[in-house]
Structure 1
């Protein structure tokens, strides 16, 4: 495993203190009632520079890499995965940096780095999830504007964001092997706390990932000026997939953070809980569970560090990114479930955070590409495409 530098340890410890003192108490208070992440936490994250970790220094960001980004995400996820996900609302567009015009970079990136311009990502649709090329939401040119019409799904933070990056079809292709062509991306700016004009929506009831809402959106001739298109017309498929390696490493980091939180809670509980005249931490069954959990976490963390190093060195690692996303997310559900088992009946109540970690860990196997999609990618690299 790559050695952490003194700077890495300082970043990690700062994020750990912030999580312990600010994020975790808020999560324990608000997650059981499905409350929103407080704006004060978002403002504090902005002061710490978390929304600009990947944004170049020339635009007011920290100019760091995937390694530092994932170090912070892992620590935040130990308190509340939703907060660990929130940092992507400022950093996520860095994958599309090369597709933005210089004016767009100069206008948007400094505000993102300051936490003043956070976004939501509207890509999925009722019939377009893993099959991104199946997008049917349309945008029609009307003078100096585009008019967006269609339905979107799984848009988290659509209300709280300052903009929504919307993917819509602006052209047709006859070739069935080129369905990814003709998709364009638009920066739809909006007032914070509201949906854009011409957009209505309903919140999707979730079993976890609380702290913010996830939306089903209906675009009905939503107007956006032509200069809000990001990248070339018809080529947004490449923009959508440009940052997948970092996004999947970020999901791995969140998964590892959840698993570590579950392990920490299980260790603490096992030392306090007494049965048959002894703490349950003295029982071999419990000790072996904890040993296995700790080993799996460390294996996932080592792989994540390796992938992050490759990303920061500019080495292509889509196979390895899929591997760490697959391994860490599957591991996270398994470890948090074991942690809940160690807590027994107490683990199955909202009185302990371990049930939150378990619920949220289950989601990591689904978003940023399901486990099955990751296995398809990995096997294609090994065996060739079918």
Structure 2
């Protein structure tokens, strides 16, 4: 594989060993209990530099690229996708690219050490894929703003050390619904929600290890200095850098699928029926062959996308392709893994059902499969009327 240099191979092998020894045992214990990712695991990840892979060396990060970020992500997802998602809470979270130099110097070194992790509050009950429909308001008040409104799907709102909030600071001009949104960076005490913000966890079928919140802001005060970038331009900040976010999601999906394949191969070699292991049967062998092929196809496409990102090439279409292909693939592969496990796969005694539940989410977050198809088709055919 020409993409994998010796340095990258070492990063990959280290992440694989860490996942097998540290992540997988924790996941197998806590996911069935819907328990939270423990602090000691976060501390071990921080020691390896996983929260600062993308953060420049001048701020204490590793200064590496999307490729290394996705290599680590894939390996972590083989154990628990939530852990692979957690590293995104330090690695230049959405909007960080628009921070002032003063903000970057204050926050990025702590983020790189894993001491200062964030949550992103953008979606609302009526604003998911259509983020221009955000109605949460930030009203000017003296030297700051008062935020009021509801937010949805804010994962890690309680455990985070800061929130990035997108709110409407002005009405959008006709035909430009995306204008008038602003982005705020707000520090908070870990383990609590800040004054003026209340919320409750949303019941989920997977993605355990941390909680996802519905939030309500009631005259929640932020200062003008908390704003990231220019007032009214948050739409552009939220949508820039999506190539990296989508490559990251593709890597999570690939890792889930690889975990399901690993477990299926092991189970097929151990499970005996009709006086021999089920891995002897052609039906099982062909399933495993197809699973492995689909995983490798997604992996190679993601390697290409990562290389494009790291060399500054435009790849919005290809990033959407790999996010679409990898997430759809992961659900199929994990489902086949359950089939190979038979009745055992439908229990919580095997990790394959966890991979399957989490794989289903990859088709929804960071832009649904339908949104990816829209982006791809628009790039190929031009924008449609609908």
Report TM bin, short chain. over 0.9
Superposed counterparts of 1:114-153, under 5 Å? 114-153=113-152
**5+ residue gaps in structure 1?**
none
Secondary structure (helix, strand or coil) at the match of 1:8 reads helix
Q: Whole-Å Cα distance in 2 between the matches of residues 354 and 174 of structure 1? A: 49
CA displacement at 1:226 relative to structure 2: 1.2
Corresponding residue number in structure 1 for 2:80: 80
Corresponding residue number in structure 1 for 2:40: 40
CA displacement at 1:20 relative to structure 2: 0.3
Asked if 2 retains the 8 angstrom alpha-carbon contact of 1:340 and 1:347, the reply is: yes
Superposed counterparts of 1:39-58, under 5 Å? 39-58=39-58
Corresponding residue number in structure 1 for 2:283: 285
Q: Whole-Å Cα distance in 2 between the matches of residues 98 and 86 of structure 1? A: 19
Asked if 2 retains the 8 angstrom alpha-carbon contact of 1:2 and 1:302, the reply is: no
Q: Whole-Å Cα distance in 2 between the matches of residues 322 and 89 of structure 1? A: 22
Asked if 2 retains the 8 angstrom alpha-carbon contact of 1:181 and 1:237, the reply is: yes
Q: Whole-Å Cα distance in 2 between the matches of residues 43 and 226 of structure 1? A: 33
Asked if 2 retains the 8 angstrom alpha-carbon contact of 1:188 and 1:196, the reply is: no
Corresponding residue number in structure 1 for 2:241: 243
Asked if 1 retains the 8 angstrom alpha-carbon contact of 2:173 and 2:179, the reply is: no
Q: Whole-Å Cα distance in 2 between the matches of residues 252 and 54 of structure 1? A: 17
CA displacement at 1:3 relative to structure 2: 2.9
Q: Deviations over 1:235-262 (max 9, x none)?
A: 0111101121000000000000000000
Superposed counterparts of 1:92-103, under 5 Å? 92-93=92-93, 96-103=95-102
Q: Whole-Å Cα distance in 1 between the matches of residues 80 and 96 of structure 2? A: 28
Asked if 2 retains the 8 angstrom alpha-carbon contact of 1:51 and 1:91, the reply is: yes
Corresponding residue number in structure 2 for 1:223: 221
CA displacement at 1:92 relative to structure 2: 3.7
Q: Whole-Å Cα distance in 1 between the matches of residues 113 and 97 of structure 2? A: 21
Q: Deviations over 1:233-290 (max 9, x none)?
A: 0001111011210000000000000000000000000001111111100100000000
Asked if 1 retains the 8 angstrom alpha-carbon contact of 2:3 and 2:303, the reply is: no
Q: Whole-Å Cα distance in 2 between the matches of residues 40 and 58 of structure 1? A: 26
Secondary structure (helix, strand or coil) at the match of 1:246 reads helix
Superposed counterparts of 1:56-71, under 5 Å? 56-71=56-71
Asked if 1 retains the 8 angstrom alpha-carbon contact of 2:55 and 2:63, the reply is: yes
Secondary structure (helix, strand or coil) at the match of 1:220 reads strand
The question of 1:304 aligning with 2:299 is answered no
Q: Whole-Å Cα distance in 2 between the matches of residues 184 and 198 of structure 1? A: 19
Q: Deviations over 1:166-224 (max 9, x none)?
A: 0000011231x211110000012110000011000011000000000000000001111
Asked if 2 retains the 8 angstrom alpha-carbon contact of 1:66 and 1:308, the reply is: yes
Corresponding residue number in structure 1 for 2:366: 368
Secondary structure (helix, strand or coil) at the match of 2:158 reads coil
Corresponding residue number in structure 1 for 2:335: 337
Q: Whole-Å Cα distance in 2 between the matches of residues 244 and 154 of structure 1? A: 18
The question of 1:106 aligning with 2:123 is answered no
Q: Whole-Å Cα distance in 2 between the matches of residues 296 and 4 of structure 1? A: 19
Q: How much is the aligned-residue C-alpha RMSD, in angstroms?
A: 0.8
Asked if 2 retains the 8 angstrom alpha-carbon contact of 1:2 and 1:306, the reply is: no
What TM-score do you get using the length of structure 1 for normalisation?
0.98
The question of 1:270 aligning with 2:268 is answered yes
Asked if 2 retains the 8 angstrom alpha-carbon contact of 1:2 and 1:305, the reply is: no
Q: Post-superposition, which runs of at least 4 consecutive aligned residues in structure 1 deviate over 4 A?
A: none
Corresponding residue number in structure 2 for 1:157: 156
Q: Whole-Å Cα distance in 2 between the matches of residues 307 and 174 of structure 1? A: 36
Q: Deviations over 1:30-71 (max 9, x none)?
A: 000100000011111111100100000000000000000000
What TM-score do you get using the length of structure 2 for normalisation?
0.98
**5+ residue gaps in structure 2?**
none
Corresponding residue number in structure 1 for 2:326: 328
Asked if 2 retains the 8 angstrom alpha-carbon contact of 1:53 and 1:65, the reply is: yes
Q: Whole-Å Cα distance in 2 between the matches of residues 354 and 35 of structure 1? A: 18
CA displacement at 1:131 relative to structure 2: 0.1
CA displacement at 1:142 relative to structure 2: 1.0
Asked if 1 retains the 8 angstrom alpha-carbon contact of 2:49 and 2:112, the reply is: yes
